[in-house]
């Protein structure tokens, strides 16, 4: 299942390796090898190689009325009769942790980022992140140009890390990826957060997390989503699917909001803004799932709640046969309704963001919602027809999104934000 990173990721490029010293790591398209030349000259030169197993391995905020919209009431029960935490509750705890970190502006002491060479190489790393973002997320990239230089460079760095992570299990070299490789990638993540990046692209993110109150947990959770893709191809109910959607897409909102910033004049609670970002990520991923049903079925994967399929009299065989029936239409109508409810929740938070950050988020939200419209226009045939938004509609959406981004933040205090 392709990961679509909250409001700005696609995943259609090849993934190669960037080598630094004797370490190898996944890197989109342009591959570098850092070589120390004679004297003081250092340079990154193109280098092509194959993928092997070198892959890297509040004060307590109160639960307010702004908590995540619960789309599933499923709660697991252990053999001992204890009620286990639902997926929504697990995710909500991560939201609380990140929101508290931002509220208190807690920054753990961090080691200065070690960058090969001098500051010019760090600038080069950020520039490369911007090039990757511009190449594979054009609409979002244009929106980031309205941000302050520091914010947009940080968002580019987050984008690139998420893209590289997704490509581990969904890129052309995915068959070579093992759980051990993901463990190595997570170990590299921890080194990165401790100021020990392995390469220039890692250095950009290490510098970013050193500047902004970003928690490591959403990054780890995204890697956990990649692990799920290696071992799981069915989801019993929406509670399971919700957790997967959080792992692979909702996490990006929690990574990005500390960088994008909340408008100083906003009276919305930090928690409510994070919940909105989370809702947007999950809505986007559900939209991807509904758009890609046919493509996923060809790979033997069904990212749909099995119990809800059964309620409509549908089974895996119906998905693999790819026939649009009244049962399928009824099922799809309910799934689209759920995604739209989440988009509605997300819209509440966009206007609370820093003014310079609203446009790219608003634009992507509008474009993703239109994918749902296209599925309906195709008579719910997501088996053989791919729903997409035309370039003309995208061009129309951009100025509309810009006007919407000018809407002032909430003037009603939802909860005190310290």
State the pLDDT at residue 91: 81
| CA 229/CA 227 separation, integer angstroms | 5
The yes-or-no verdict on residue 235 having pLDDT over 90 is yes
Read off the pLDDT of each residue in 236-259 and give the average, rounded to a whole number. 95
Residue 115, CA distances (Å) to 47, 241, 325, 395, 417 in order: 20, 39, 58, 40, 36
DSSP 36: E
DSSP reduced 3-state for 190: helix
DSSP reduced 3-state for 16: strand
On whether the CB atoms of residues 229 and 171 are closer than 8 A, the answer is no
Q: Which of 236, 338, 253, 323 is nearest to 287 (CA)?
A: 338
Helices 358-377 and 391-405, interaxial angle, to 10°? 140
| CA 190/CA 219 separation, integer angstroms | 10
State the pLDDT at residue 52: 29
The yes-or-no verdict on residue 43 having pLDDT over 50 is no
For residues 118 and 365, which has the higher predicted lDDT (pLDDT)?
A: 365
The CATH number of 95-107+118-406 is 1.10.600.10
State the pLDDT at residue 117: 52
The yes-or-no verdict on residue 333 having pLDDT over 60 is yes
The yes-or-no verdict on residue 61 having pLDDT over 80 is no
The yes-or-no verdict on residue 40 having pLDDT over 90 is no
Q: Which residues pair with 36 in a beta bridge?
A: 42
pLDDT in tens, 172-226: 777 788 999 999 999 999 999 999 999 999 999 999 999 999 999 999 999 999 9
| CA 290/CA 125 separation, integer angstroms | 36
State the pLDDT at residue 372: 97
| CA 212/CA 105 separation, integer angstroms | 9
Q: Which of 203, 200, 205, 202 is nearest to 35 (CA)?
A: 200
Residue 140 dihedral angles phi and psi, to the nearest 5°: -65, -40
The yes-or-no verdict on residue 47 having pLDDT over 80 is no
| CA 207/CA 192 separation, integer angstroms | 9
Q: Where are the domains of the chain?
A: 95-107+118-406
| CA 324/CA 340 separation, integer angstroms | 22
Q: Which of 279, 288, 202 is nearest to 10 (CA)?
A: 288
What six digits make up the tokens of 264?
Answer: 């100083």
DSSP 415: S
The mean pLDDT of the chain is 78
What six digits make up the tokens of 224?
Answer: 């956990």
The yes-or-no verdict on residue 7 having pLDDT over 90 is no
């Amino acid at each position: 299942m392709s990961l679509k990173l909250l409001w700005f990721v696609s995943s259609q490029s090849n993934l190669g390796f960037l080598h630094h010293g004797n370490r190898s790591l996944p890197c989109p398209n342009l591959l570098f090898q850092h070589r120390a030349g004679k004297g003081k000259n250092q340079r990154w030169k193109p280098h092509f190689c194959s993928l092997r197993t070198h892959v890297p391995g509040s004060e307590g905020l109160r639960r307010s009325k702004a908590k995540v919209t619960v789309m599933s009431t499923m709660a697991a029960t252990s053999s001992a009769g204890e009620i286990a935490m639902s997926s929504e509750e697990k995710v909500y705890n991560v939201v609380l942790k990140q929101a508290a970190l931002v509220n208190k502006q807690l920054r753990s002491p961090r080691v200065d980022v070690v960058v090969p060479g001098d500051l010019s190489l760090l600038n080069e790393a950020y520039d490369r992140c911007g090039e990757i973002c511009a190449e594979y997320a054009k609409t979002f990239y244009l929106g980031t140009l309205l941000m302050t230089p520091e914010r947009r460079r940080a968002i580019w760095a987050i984008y690139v890390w998420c893209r590289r992570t997704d490509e581990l299990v969904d890129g052309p070299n995915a068959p070579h990826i093992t759980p051990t490789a993901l463990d190595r990638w997570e170990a590299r993540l921890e080194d990165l957060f401790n100021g020990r990046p392995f390469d220039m692209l890692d250095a950009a993110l290490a510098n970013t997390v050193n500047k902004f109150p970003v928690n490591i947990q959403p990054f780890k959770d995204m890697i956990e989503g990649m692990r799920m893709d290696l071992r799981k191809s069915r989801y019993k109910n929406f509670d399971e699917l919700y957790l997967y959607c959080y792992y692979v897409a909702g996490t990006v909102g929690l990574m990005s909001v500390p960088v994008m910033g909340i408008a100083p004049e906003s009276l919305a609670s930090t928690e409510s803004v994070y919940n909105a970002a989370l809702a947007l990520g999950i809505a986007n991923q559900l939209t991807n799932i509904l758009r890609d049903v046919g493509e996923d079925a060809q790979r033997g994967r069904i990212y749909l709640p099995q119990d809800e399929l059964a309620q409509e009299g549908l089974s895996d065989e119906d998905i693999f046969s790819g026939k649009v029936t009244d049962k399928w239409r009824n099922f799809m109508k309910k799934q689209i309704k759920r995604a739209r409810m989440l988009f509605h929740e997300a819209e509440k938070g966009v206007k609370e963001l820093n003014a310079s950050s609203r446009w790219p988020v608003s634009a992507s939200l509008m474009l993703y919602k239109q994918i749902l419209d296209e599925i309906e226009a195709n008579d719910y045939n997501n088996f053989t027809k791919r729903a997409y938004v035309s370039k003309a509609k995208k061009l129309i959406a951009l100025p509309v999104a810009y006007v919407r981004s000018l809407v002032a933040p909430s003037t009603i205090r939802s909860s005190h934000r310290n």
